[in-house]
Amino acid sequence: MEQYLPVLTLGVLGVLFVLLSIVASRLLAPERATVAKRSAYECGVTEQVAIPERFPVKFYLVAMLFIMFDIEIVFLYPWAVANDELGLFGLVAMTIFAGIFFLSFVYELAKGGLNWGPGRQLITPATSPERTTTSTIRKVGLEGRIEIETAADDSEAA
Amino acid sequence: MLLNQFLILGAVLFAVGVYGVLARKNGVMVLMSIELMLNAVNINLVVFGVQHGVVSGQVFALFVIAVAAAEVGVGLAIVLLLYRNRTSIDVEDFDLMRG
Amino acid sequence: MEALLAFSRPALDWHALAPELTLLAFGTLITVVDIIWDDRSKQAMPTLAGIGLLATLLPVITLALDGTDRTMFGGAYVIDDFSLVLKALFLISGYVVILMSVDYIRDGDYYENEYYTLMLTSLLGMVMMSSSRDLISVFVALELLSIPAYMLAAWRKGGARSNEAGLKYYLMGVFASAVMLYGMSLVYGLAGSTAFGAIAEELGSLDSSPVAILGILFILIGFAFKVSAVPFHTWAPDTYEGAPTPVTAFLAVASKTAGMVALIQLVFVAFAGRDDVVQPFFWLIAALTMTIGNLIALRQTNIVRLLAYSGVAQGGFMLVPFAVAADAPARAVEAVVIYMAIYAFMNLGAFTVVLAVARKTRSGEIDSYGGLFQYAPGLAVAMTIFLAALAGIPPAGGWFAKFGLFRALLDAGGGWAAGLGVVVAVNTVIAFAYYARILGQMWFQPAPDGDERPVVMTGSLKAALAMTIIATMAFGILPGLVGHFGEVSVLSALGG
């Protein structure tokens, strides 16, 4: 048990330090709050509400692809350095590795991960709440649909 | 050799990472903090490997780098999914389940 | 430095690697089939995944019949009876989970092919874990089993709860791996080697080094997160509740077992000489996990959440033998292995029933189990068997697992072991209270809204239920069976 003594001592010291700091700042620090100080970043610049901006998700897939090949390079580089030593064995091993790796790239291609541009832009769906494709009459009775959807999701969580 | 300095750097980086994970609310910042922790580990591994004169530390570091990239890839995907469904990446907003 | 670079081709024992290679081949095969035939191949996917797991069992069996221990890569990868027993356990649990998933995944209109690929990948990590005897291979196996599991937990893409489950599991899991890795880097720094044997020698000789203690503690804490031990359990109930139910069963059984396997290797091999650090840690963690898991389970109203907390508590029971790791090593390993095997089947069985009932009631509340005996007597009896097993009532399997714990504690002897024995006994009684609540609801309460339509069972759910019932009862009535595997695995775990 005495093995834990240093760890325990350090823990107690840590807790004491935190408590002391809190108590000391309560006692010593003057409390003169202003709006500017209360705001986030406390730098006087009024913070702006983060607008949920749409960003193209395709960039994310490209970033993923980059990370994938980044990982491959991590293993290719040491192999390249030691190639003379490793010889045929290293070549075969790396080929198998790269082959399985390449499969993930093919998968992404097959699933349309790299299809972008105008050809695949989503057509505005006909089920827009305001208009149908054939008329400009507004559909009614759609209020509360979003609630129904979330309720369905909750019950399915079981 | 400057063993201690490197180890202190590793420890400080790790502590900064832990602080970031615990204190940050933005999901992406939490991911970055985790990345810091893993890089602190890499520093330790490489330094110890050099100190002992064996390559296993560097090999370990390579695996950590590879796994970290995979982890962050999955993490970003999950954060993105949450952003689409909830338009928020504040980790404190996600409290549907408690108790 | 020249000596470092000298390379000799490692001897590859293809027979020993066959299980991993088969699993990998089927994982890639599913992806290839998906790429070529896309949606047309959906129907075949569960079958393909199931065949993959059964095909992987074949080399495991031939290796077991062969019986020789095989060591590869300088001792980093070992095939012995211990690893083979656990590989078989992982594969069979995985097969049951796939049986549970078939209809859930098909009806839910989720991605199917990817689901099974990820499931097989995660199982590959577990199969690797049982053979790993080296920090690097343990780490790679752990991540290989965890990363697909993060995605599986968030599988219901549109469901806010599932997303949240995935995020919580991911953040906690990655944070835990980072902490564990820092511990590994310290241990590596002291030992100068990643092999468990070398680490054991070096750590055993460094009696008062605080770095050694810190490294060991960090590694153990990292795995405590994985096996959801209190106080590192906070992710488990939320993740279990939010994730799709088959995935929950997978996490609660296979993922937890994999964490335990790694802990066995670390505690009994790598940290063998450091019982001064390991034993108090596990005493505290095991007592806390059992007690807090059970107490919170008492006031749950959702059955998945209740099973989650009960799973936390069961994990606490599994951690008990680690607290006497040095005093009675053989008995302790045996107790953990037996507990894991029995727990896998009884818990998978309970989740199968939950899944089947939810197909009708669409609810996870315990109240909705009223009248189950009237309209689905078969399911009610099955659930009774599993809950009795979880509570440790003979003749269902669980009693033998608990018996193993007490035997390990008795062998160790002394005040600390006796104290822990008392905690185990008290917790067994507490656990009985909440299992009995579900039983009472099923047998004696009327069905809510008088809805007594029968539950529609599918073939795969029936198969999963049959497998788990047979296994649970077999372990209870013929404890010698699982006891034999336990003993076999002990010899090799401690010998290596």
Reported as a single tens digit per residue, the pLDDT across B33-89 is: 999 999 999 999 999 998 888 888 888 999 999 999 889 888 888 888 888 777 777
First to last CA, chain A: 45
What are B90's strand-pairing partners?
Answer: B26
Number of domains in chain A: 1
Question: Which residue among C158, C188, C296 sits closest to B60, beta carbon to beta carbon?
Answer: C188
Kindly provide the residue ranges of all beta strands, DSSP E only, lying in C383-486, ordered along the sequence: none
Q: How many other C-beta atoms can be found within 10 angstroms of the C-beta atom of residue B54? A: 16
- Contact criterion met (CB < 8 Å) for B80 and A75: no
Written as one letter, the residue type at C159 is G
**pTM higher than 0.90:** no
First to last CA, chain C: 31
Q: Check if the beta carbon of residue C10 is closer than 8 Å to that of residue C44.
A: no
For C305, which residue in chain B has the nearest alpha carbon? B99
User: CA C431, CA C438: separation in Å to the nearest integer?
Assistant: 12
Which structural domain, as residue segments, surrounds residue C437? 274-496
To test the contact with chain C by mutation, choose from B56, B84, B89, B90 the residue with the greatest count of C C-beta atoms within 10 A, namely B56
Question: Which residue among C38, C280, C364 sits closest to A158, beta carbon to beta carbon?
Answer: C364
Task: Tell me, yes or no, whether C338 lies in a domain.
Answer: yes
Q: How many other C-beta atoms can be found within 10 angstroms of the C-beta atom of residue C50? A: 19
The subunits that touch chain C, with at least 3 C-beta pairs less than 8 Å apart, are: A, B
To test the contact with chain A by mutation, choose from B24, B62, B90, B93 the residue with the greatest count of A C-beta atoms within 10 A, namely B62
User: CA B19, CA B16: separation in Å to the nearest integer?
Assistant: 5
Which structural domain, as residue segments, surrounds residue A100? 58-112
DSSP secondary-structure letter at C131? T
Rounded to the nearest angstrom, the minimum Cα separation between A72 and chain B is 8
Angle between helices A5-28 and C210-226 (to 10 degrees): 80
Would you put residue C475 in left (φ > 0), alpha (ψ -120 to 50) or beta? alpha
Task: Tell me, yes or no, whether A87 lies in a domain.
Answer: yes
Rounded to the nearest angstrom, the minimum Cα separation between A83 and chain C is 11
For residue C119, what are its two tokens? Answer: 């499931």
For residue C405, what are its two tokens? Answer: 């714990």
Return all residues near C28 (Cβ < 8 A) that are at least 6 apart. A100, A103
Q: How many other C-beta atoms can be found within 10 angstroms of the C-beta atom of residue A87? A: 12
DSSP secondary-structure letter at C80? -
Domain boundaries, chain B: 3-89
What local confidence, expressed as pLDDT, does residue A57 receive? 64
Q: Is C164 on the interface with B (CB under 8 A)?
A: yes
Residue whose C-alpha is closest to residue C493's, from C335, C318, C333: C333
Q: Which CATH architecture has domain B3-89?
A: Orthogonal Bundle (1.10)
- Contact criterion met (CB < 8 Å) for A6 and C213: yes
Task: Tell me, yes or no, whether C264 lies in a domain.
Answer: no
User: CA C330, CA A130: separation in Å to the nearest integer?
Assistant: 72
Q: Which string of b and e fits C400-410 if b means at least 16 CB within 10 Å?
A: bbbbbbebbbe
- Contact criterion met (CB < 8 Å) for C151 and B71: no
User: CA A65, CA A48: separation in Å to the nearest integer?
Assistant: 33
DSSP secondary-structure letter at C77? E
Instruction: Quote the ipTM score.
Output: 0.93
Return all residues near C260 (Cβ < 8 A) that are at least 6 apart. C227, C315, C318, C336, C340
Task: Tell me, yes or no, whether A79 lies in a domain.
Answer: yes
Interface residues of A toward C, Cβ cutoff 8 Å, are 1, 3-4, 6-7, 82, 85-86, 89, 100, 103-104, 106-107, 110, 150, 153-158
Q: Check if the beta carbon of residue C227 is closer than 8 Å to that of residue C256.
A: yes
Residue whose C-alpha is closest to residue C355's, from C100, C155, C116: C100
For residue C401, what are its two tokens? Answer: 């697992």
Which residues 12-31 on chain A approach chain B with CB closer than 8 angstroms? Answer: none
Return all residues near A70 (Cβ < 8 A) that are at least 6 apart. B69
A68 contacts in B (CB within 8 Å)? Answer: 73
Number of H helices, E strands in chain A: 5, 0
What are B26's strand-pairing partners?
Answer: B90
B79 contacts in C (CB within 8 Å)? Answer: 167
In order along its 496 residues, chain C shows pLDDT tens digits of 444 456 677 777 788 888 899 999 998 898 888 888 877 777 888 888 889 999 988 888 888 888 777 888 877 888 888 888 889 999 999 999 999 888 888 777 677 788 898 999 999 999 999 988 889 999 999 999 999 999 999 888 777 788 888 888 998 899 999 999 999 999 998 888 888 888 888 887 776 778 888 888 999 999 998 898 888 888 888 888 888 888 999 998 888 899 999 998 888 888 887 878 888 888 899 999 999 989 988 888 888 888 888 999 999 999 998 888 887 788 888 888 888 888 999 999 999 988 888 888 777 788 888 878 888 888 888 888 888 888 888 777 888 888 888 888 888 878 888 888 899 889 989 888 888 888 888 888 887 777 777 787 888 888 888 888 888 888 877 777 666 666 666 666 665 4
Question: Which residue among A4, A153, A158 sits closest to C304, beta carbon to beta carbon?
Answer: A158
